[in-house]
Amino acid sequence: MRICFILNPTSGTNRTQDVPALLTRYATAAGAEFEIQPTAYAGHAEQLARQAAAAGCRVVVAVGGDGTVNEVARGLLGTSAALGIVPRGSGNGLARHLHIPLDLPGAVRRACQPTFQRIDAGEINGRPFFCTAGLGFDAHVSKMFARAGTRGLSTYVKVALREYRRYRPVPVQVTLQGQKLFDTHCYVLAFANAAQYGNNAYIAPRANIQDGLLDVCLIDGLSLPRAVRVGLGLALGTLATSGGAVYHTTQQVRVRSAAPLGFHVDGDYVEDATDFEVVLHPLALEVAV
Ligand SMILES: Nc1ncnc2c1ncn2[C@@H]1O[C@H](COP(=O)(O)OP(=O)(O)OP(=O)(O)O)[C@@H](O)[C@H]1O
């Protein structure tokens, strides 16, 4: 079985580690036949993943955060290679959901001696996602976080608190499965394939990544008491029962917004739009876990 590690050299906070040397050490110890391909620019991992699959690699491993995982997984859709993950980001949402070890030696061993499963994949306005996508405040925070200059959980929390004071919900019309359902306000409208954003922040604690359904989580406003409830719910995995959010499960969602709204895929801000088409592709990706 051939394995290709696709390494984002810019991900993670520990830049002093010689990651290629560590991957080589642990993959050799696991008896793997492997290669390591570093990315040269943002977006490169998708192309490298597709090439590795075409060259016959059975497992293509994203070594990085959820952004790199998204790129590699995107490249593997429709191929016969499975996605592995060596988590090196700050959130690691998909790795956590799939119970992949968060330490490098454990994750490399898992990628070299995996079991295989299939998981669902989401798509928003033509862009695949595997963990979560969303409109509103979470996308806005992703956009501001990308501009912050530093990364990590503490920057994320600082940016979120600062933006909370400024952000206002936007009127939206949400249609589930082709049937008009409601006019509401969007503070956050999250589409969850996996249960968490990353960092064990559970936006949709009941989400099942193999059930052919998206868990749609709506937060229509965020007064301070509700923000506290939502924050606790995210951290404790109790958001679905806390009254802070409303949930639906569906395979397809359409959203029309009264004003441009930002959206993110797997935590990376994409752009602003007023029309959103979200679909779920059941069991579209094989994972090595
Ligand atoms: N060689 C590269 N140079 C610059 N950017 C890159 C390179 N390779 C990948 N990227 C980009 O870096 C972005 C961030 O990567 P990733 O999400 O893997 O790490 P992270 O930001 O440290 O993790 P997290 O998102 O969990 O905080 C990705 O969206 C990817 O497009």
CATH number at residue 226: 2.60.200.40
Ligand 1 centroid distance, CA of 231 (Å):
26
Q: Percentage of the chain surpassing pLDDT 90?
A: 88
Average pLDDT, the chain: 95
- Does residue 37 have its Cβ closer than 6 Å to ligand 1? no
What does the DSSP 8-state code read for residue 197? S
Rounded to 5 degrees, what are φ and ψ at 6?
-105, 115
Residues 101 and 207 in one domain: no
Residue 122 lies in a domain: no
Give the Cα separation of 108 and 13 in Å (integer).
Answer: 19
pLDDT beyond 80 at 7: yes
- Per-residue tokens: 240: 């679905």
Ligand 1 centroid distance, CA of 208 (Å):
26
- Per-residue tokens: 25: 């050490």
Of 92, 114, 136, the one marking the end of a domain is 114
Task: Give the closest residue (by CA) to ligand 1 atom 30.
Answer: 42
Distance of CA 77 to the CA centre of its chain: 15
pLDDT beyond 80 at 119: yes
Residues 227/167, Cβ–Cβ less than 8 Å = no
- Does residue 142 have its Cβ closer than 6 Å to ligand 1? no
Residues 135 and 277 in one domain: yes
- 2-7 and 59-64 strand pairing: parallel
Global pTM exceeds 0.80: yes
Domain that holds residue 225: 127-283
Give the Cα separation of 29 and 111 in Å (integer).
Answer: 12
- Does residue 9 have its Cβ closer than 6 Å to ligand 1? yes
Distance of CA 138 to the CA centre of its chain: 12
Of 114, 142, 159, the one marking the end of a domain is 114
Largest CA distance in the chain: 57
Residue 20 vs residues 5, 7, 37, 108, 237: alpha-carbon distances, Å:
9, 8, 9, 12, 35
Ligand 1 nearest-atom number relative to CA 152:
27
Give the model's pLDDT for residue 146. 87
Burial of 3 (0-12, 13-18, 19+ CB in 10 A): buried
Residues 271 and 145 in one domain: yes
**Could you read off the pLDDT of 128-183 as tens digits, one per residue?**
999 999 999 999 999 999 888 887 778 888 999 999 999 999 999 999 998 868 89
Neighbour tally for 160: CB within 10 Å: 18
Of 83, 114, 145, the one marking the end of a domain is 114
Residue 279 lies in a domain: yes
Give the model's pLDDT for residue 46. 98
Task: Give the closest residue (by CA) to ligand 1 atom 6.
Answer: 42
Torsion of CA 87, 88, 90, 93, to 10 degrees: -20
Ligand 1 centroid distance, CA of 156 (Å):
15
Residues 135/129, Cβ–Cβ less than 8 Å = no
**Could you read off the pLDDT of 236-279 as tens digits, one per residue?**
999 999 888 999 999 999 999 999 999 999 999 999 999 999 99
Ligand 1 centroid distance, CA of 63 (Å):
10
Residues 137 and 70 in one domain: no
Residue 53 lies in a domain: yes
Torsion of CA 122, 125, 126, 127, to 10 degrees: -60
Give the Cα separation of 121 and 125 in Å (integer).
Answer: 13
Place of tokens 């002093």: 16
Give the model's pLDDT for residue 272. 96
Domain count for the chain: 2
Residue 288 lies in a domain: no
Residues 131 and 267 in one domain: yes
Query: In 3-state terms, what secondary structure has residue 159?
Result: helix
